[in-house]
Amino acid sequence: MSVNPDAVDAAFFDELRKHYSDDEIVELGAFIGFNLGYHTFFGTLKFYPLFAPDGRLVSQTESEKLYGAAPVSLGKAGAAE
Partner 1 sequence: MIHIAPLPKEAIADPELRALIAEGEALGVPDDLFPRILARAPEQAVPLMRALLMSHARGNVDHKLKEIMRILLARFAKDKYFAGLRSAKARAMGLIEQRIDDGCFAYEDNAKGFSEAEKCALRYADLMFLDAGQIDKAFYDQMKMHWSEAQIMELGAFIAFHYGMQMFMRSLGAVPLPSRSEDE
Binding mask 10-49 for partner 1 (x = CB under 8 A): x--x--------xx-xxx-xxxxxxxxxx-xxxxxxx---
By CB under 8 A, residue 68 contacts partner 1: no
CA distance 76 to 81: 9
Distance of CA 72 to the CA centre of its chain: 17
Helices and strands (DSSP H and E) totals, the chain: 4, 0
> Quick check: helix, strand or coil at residue 51?
strand
Residue number with CB closer to partner 1 (18 or 76): 18
Residue number with CB closer to partner 1 (12 or 79): 12
Q: Which residues bind partner 1 (CB under 8 A)?
A: 1-2, 5, 8, 10, 13, 22-23, 25-27, 29-38, 40-46
